[in-house]
Structure 1
């Protein structure tokens, strides 16, 4: 068995049991069926709706003083009611499926059945009855290739799809909906509206010898331009892509695909002889990021680029109160920094789009982005429950990814984004009774306190994000540096309760759900870097206690929340909790194909695939091996017991340094560090602490 291969003995029983293949733009979920294969097809830019119109009507911003007064008076029921008046009337749009391609290729014998997904080559194989079907989605050639001469058919959930023939291809064309309500909005009809402005799409397929080649095109012309409905032009584009691929031999197409994919996949490796499932989970996360996110594509959404529903779970959008960010926590540490680019581009776009939202909804400077967004760079508060709708702090969190990209060796962060986020944050700060500055209004994402209310001031996550953002604005030394510095000096710290645990809200309040899946109040520990073992020992202990209180009450019951627990365990140097989190992910929160799951009672299986758990788990595994957030490169500080021996290479640290290491008996044997920058570098390993003078590009070997 290859340590980079997932192998199964039965076809997919559900969508999340399939094997996802993709090139960042075109995605296919392979079901592994006999005789007639199923491919659920997606294109990263096929969404409902169109560009967001500017806000209209009277601004709700004059409500803000009364809202803040209600919060200060402790009248949280009134604060919640007033917060609703700040909301808009629109919802984000939904990521759309192209449809299902079925490929009938022969008898459905199940003799000797097995299927596999090779993560290193990005090829899915289904074998049975002496037949082997290999499938891959090529980035160099932009097509799905299937290695059997089957008969293709296409079934789209979108009405009015028609077909035509172009140059030996059958091409199906149709349009996405003009409007789709989120799947959790049940009180409005119709939930899905089709019309002439819906984005056009085309799917082209050709049988070419002993293979089938498939391509797709969408009418996306940018987030601020109406989508194209030129179906003839889209059909011609998809057919041309197929024709270009047909000009290459089967061997050349596969070679080009594998070489390009391995150019990303081979940047890093991890070998855990005593923990093969954890090793495979790490590699699957890297594989999924490569398959779902490339420079120039849209960012990986809640399901990466794989979705079969017109009304997918949570619109399959970018949920910016943790999930979109978690998708990219691993990008820098596992040496896939260029694949971070789609999220960084989205962040820059939102910093521009959010200026209208800040001005209209709050009468504030800068830019505001709320709890989710879509292809059209939606930024307004939606008409929902305040615990999730009234959270406008997404841009500071997203800006942290620009900062991390830079500190890991990427391009300098764009000052304009930090200034837009900081201006809004500064306008959200007000003094409390003691004179300390707190974010008001403030909510802790998707959680309320026992009275059933959510809107408060100075919630832990908002205070952490404000401190992190303003600290970086001061470091950038731009026009806001002085104002940010004054605010930092007065910013209220996140407090601890009488029991010593870090508090989620301004003061010690009973949570409505003690085991809530969000761990927002622990942002400063991870993914933030303020709370550290040596720099803030009191808050470090308080964060540990807060996490264990949440765990005792049942948190970590979704794939992504358990992945967050794993990352926090790494920062807390808690190998037992890390091991328990990995076991929970693998045993309870993964499908047979190892895709991480989220509870969804509306689905027959009770689960829905969410990719953030996979990608967050990869970040957590990397964090167990190497950390660099305290100004020090720390090696093997949180090594699970089952990982007594192993090796890794290609992992990256802040400063742009790259590390290869091997260990046995739970102790480092050797580390080779390639410096990404010049200057002093502190390295911790095996109880030692060394200061090296390094020069960019040079290699340094450390042995015990």
Structure 2
């Protein structure tokens, strides 16, 4: 097996930063291994504290929310930011109720041979095989091989852990489960443990409400002889044993059938040999993982590939980032985490920590939730290029839930039709503003999530998806903003607000002539970017579906009145409507650069001045010694530099992310000192954002006009060190698939498969070629873009 598809270690693990993540899109575990124990930190995507929320219940009650909105907007139009802030705090700042957080369920503990690392243990190694979704531990004990294998089965919805040894004395195992909640209770009988729990905590809720869960741990040995005692299952002197774990919750369940489901899952799995369970697991997982791949560097690999992953990461020096296999490994790890973290049938999409949990974010002000001002969005950045569009379904389902709650929020908060969601959400679709207006009035958070559906349509050109899913959701968002925005009488521009640019602030001169710091404003640049995409999409969809002509005219009229992008006094792309002085020029968020690094509103090809302005923005942030240097920021720098064709700068950012902003298990993290963090906190978006950067460096696909020709740039940001490699099965906008090879830093060949009718223009190093394509066509191009 290629080391580009394996995390490999020769030392035991004791803590989360070294653990190996498993998941099946609903249930997850982080595997902590040593010769003396195997511990699985168990998580489940619906295991949330808190309770459903009534829209507007945390806000001050007002008779006419729209009248209050207009008054606040007029204050901001007149430049009275202090009064705009005061009114926003009074009418649009929620009080936290039972919002909740995703919590760790508990820990499955397997003590081996009494819990003491036995003498005579040699050759210890552990690994996570990305192409098999399998964690394995191997070592010799006094010359006898010992092996443990674990996987999280999607077909059978259970964790499977097998232990094998040919030592004459066999294995001694003690299996127990420790819950994290005060409501946890367990019992053991007939070779199995059963436990009941409830997701309770007091940081984000009142400690009395949360999802309930039921779990079963069953142990099977080679002789079927196991004991249950003192809350444990004990196996003595056996050559092999298998541990099964099932866990279910009552989230959105109307009866008690959810408890019985755990028992049924255990019984069905226990009927089968481990080999059959593993075969079913691989038959399900590998077709997804094998849809696409990349290689970087020589096909024969390098000496680095034989080093343990933690050593490779520690050797990953900023001066060269010469271990190309680490870039490829990071890319494939993100694809693995995507498949492990979300499936088409998952009840919820991935949250701040994907499907895993370090137990830190949920204990502080962040909450392990759905952050809607970059984090949740970034979780899905690599899904479509990785040929996994079916794994977008949980996001679609969640958006439908958010739309329902967002309609109530739009009426309660603003007196408007349509739907809106703000800075964060939970498993019940919370859509109100946040607890502080400085970040809580991110009024386009829900819309930003929904723009993923526009991208999904660009990639798939699926007309059924357009008519049944994408257009209805986006139309509702447009209806809200058409009613919510106010026209500036001086410029004629339609403006959003009160709003914020996540989560930044600016200075203005107050009435007393003193400098005031503010966050609340009208039409931050992110809002303008998202509304342009929204309105352009709605116009295209109405034409494509031959529907809603009157609505389309309203949208077109509003689109023409949106503010233009503006370039500030430093040559930077303005983050706000006015060229304010930044109060936090070191800030981690780069939301106003989304027009370049995600859709096609800004590009070097079509809007060079704006592209230069984004470049100036990036350089001004990069020049700051106090830059808030965290995982998603590095990914956003990398994405922007890749879109600008700045190969070495993009390479430096993704290298920094891998080498300095990821744990030894390569999960990305946020540094202490940022947004109240006191520790390195696992946040999964860096893994997904990093993969998106690597993909953008190798191939860029844009659709400047929705439904129009696709622009494909081959090797647009190829660093000098990435002189050879391959891409297999990468998906592009326009319903295209690409295979590509290069060597000596130059293109050797590119092969496009097309699954729809359309046309594209392919660009490569000053050359371009316009090519029409048809359903099930294949187009082969040579090193100079000649058609073969």
Taking structure 2 as the reference length, the TM-score comes to 0.84
Distance 2:498 2:726 in 1: 48
Q: 2: CA distance between counterparts of 1:322 and 1:399?
A: 12
Q: Which residue of 2 aligns with 1:188?
A: none
Question: Among 435, 438, 450, which residue is 1:383 paired with?
Answer: 435
CA displacement at 1:589 relative to structure 2: 0.2
- Out of 108, 114, 124, the position equivalent to 2:117 is 108
Distance 1:537 1:180 in 2: 51
Partner of 1:463: 528
Q: CA deviation at 1:383?
A: 2.2
Tell me the equivalent position of 1:415: 471
Where does residue 183 of structure 2 map in the other structure? 160
Provide the rounded CA distance (Å) in 2 between the counterparts of 1:221 and 1:306. Answer: 21
- Cα 1:501–1:615, aligned 2, differ >3 Å: closer, same or farther? same
- Alpha-carbon distance between aligned partners in 2 of 1:181 and 1:160, rounded to the nearest angstrom: 16
SS in 2 for 1:208: strand
- Contact 2:358–2:682 (Cα < 8 Å) also in 1: no
What corresponds to 1:185 in structure 2?
none
2: CA distance between counterparts of 1:658 and 1:372? Answer: 34
Q: How does 1:503-514 map to 2 (within 5 A)?
A: 503-514=574-585
Shift of 1:54: 4.3
Offset, 1:169 = 2.7
Aligned residue among 119, 124, 129 for 1:118 = 129
Q: What SS does the corresponding residue of 1:3 show, helix, strand or coil?
A: helix
Please name the residue that 2:593 is paired with: 522
Query: How far off is 1:170 after superposition?
Result: 1.5
**1:419 aligns to what SS in structure 2?**
helix
Distance 1:653 1:119 in 2: 24
Contact 2:495-2:523 at 8 Å conserved across structures: yes
Runs of 5+ in structure 1 lacking a partner? 183-190
Secondary structure of 2:688's counterpart equals: helix
Once structures 1 and 2 are overlaid, which stretch shifts more, 131-140 or 166-175? 166-175
Of 641, 648, 664, 1:569 maps to 641
Shift of 1:312: 4.0
Contact 1:68 1:440 in 2 (8 A): yes
SS in 1 for 2:589: coil
Cα 1:14/1:79, change in 2 over 3 Å: farther
Cα shift at 1:308: 4.6
- 1:443 paired residue number: 500
Are the equivalent residues in 2 in contact too, given 1:449–1:509 (CA < 8 A)? yes
- Which whole-Å CA distance do the structure 1 matches of 2:396 and 2:296 have between them? 32
Q: Could you say what the CA RMSD is over the residues aligned between the two structures, in angstroms?
A: 2.1
Is 1:15 the equivalent of 2:16?
yes
Mapped pair 1:136 → 2:151: yes
1:109-157 deviation digits (Å, cap 9, x = unpaired) = 4532221111111111122344221111011111111112733211111
The correspondence of residues 339-378 of structure 1 with structure 2, limited to 5 A, is 339-378=391-430
Mapped to 1, the partners of 2:190 and 2:277 lie a distance apart of 20
SS at match of 1:414: helix
- The alignment status of 1:169 with 2:192, answered yes or no, reads yes
After superposing on structure 2, the runs of 4+ consecutive aligned residues of structure 1 that deviate more than 6 Å are 602-605
Worse-superposed segment, 681-690 or 274-283: 681-690
Match of 1:553 among 614, 617, 624: 624
Q: Conserved in 2, the CA contact under 8 Å of 1:667 and 1:686?
A: no
Deviates more, 1:82-91 or 1:111-120: 82-91
Partner SS for 2:517: coil
Match of 1:596 in 2: 668
Greater alpha carbon shift after TM alignment, 525-534 vs 638-647 = 525-534
Is the CA contact (8 Å cut-off) linking 1:430 and 1:439 kept in structure 2? yes
Q: Is the 8 A contact 1:171 1:235 kept in 2?
A: no
Does structure 1 residue 395 correspond to structure 2 residue 409? no
Q: In the alignment, does 2:211 pair up with 1:199?
A: yes
- Equivalent residue for 1:281? 330
1:25 aligns with 2:26: yes
Provide the residue aligned with 1:300 in structure 2.
350
Q: Please, which of 597, 611, 614 is the counterpart of residue 540 of structure 1?
A: 611
Following TM superposition, by how much is the alpha carbon of 1:452 offset from its aligned partner in structure 2, in angstroms? 2.2
Bigger radius of gyration: 2
Unmatched segments (≥5 aa) in structure 2: 164-170, 222-240, 298-322, 508-515, 705-709, 784-788
Partner of 1:699: 778
For 1:604 and 1:468, the matched residues in 2 are separated by 34
Shift, 1:645, TM fit: 0.3
Q: In the alignment, is residue 323 of structure 1 matched against residue 332 of structure 2?
A: no
CA distance in 2, matches of 1:61, 1:16: 48
Q: Which position in structure 1 is the counterpart of 2:653?
A: 581
Is the aligned partner of 1:690 residue 2:769? yes
In 2: Cα distance, 1:369 partner to 1:604 partner: 25
Q: Report the 3-state secondary structure (helix = DSSP H, G, I; strand = E; otherwise coil) of the residue aligned with 1:243.
A: helix
Contact 1:151 1:207 in 2 (8 A): no
1:686 Cα deviation from its structure 2 partner: 4.3
1:354 match: secondary structure: helix
**SS of residue in 1 equivalent to 2:779:** strand
Query: How many angstroms apart in 2 are the aligned matches of 1:472 and 1:3?
Result: 39
**TM-score, normalisation: structure 1:** 0.93
CA contact 2:443–2:500 (8 Å) conserved in 1: no
2:61: which partner in 1?
58
- Cα distance in 2, alignment partners of residues 475 and 167 from structure 1: 63
> How many residues are matched?
685
Displacement of 1:261: 1.3
Quote how far apart the aligned CAs of 1:569 are: 1.1
CA contact (8 A) 2:654 2:693 kept: no
Cα distance in 2 for partners of 1:679, 1:283 equals 30
Give the equivalent residue in structure 1 for 2:707: none
Aligned-pair CA distance for 1:10: 2.4
**Is 1:309 matched with 2:359?**
yes
Cα deviation, residue 51, structure 1? 2.2
- Displacement of 1:439: 1.5
State the 1:204 CA deviation: 0.9
Taking a change above 3 Å as real, the CA distance of residues 633 and 100 of structure 1, as seen in their structure-2 partners, is same
Report SS of the residue matched to 2:264: helix
Spell out the pairing of 1:605-620 with structure 2 (5 A cutoff).
606-620=679-693
1:351 positional shift: 1.5
Q: 1:476 to 1:679 in 2, by over 3 A?
A: closer
The CA distance in 2 between the partners of 1:11 and 1:364, in whole Å, is 57
Is 1:404 matched up with 2:455?
yes
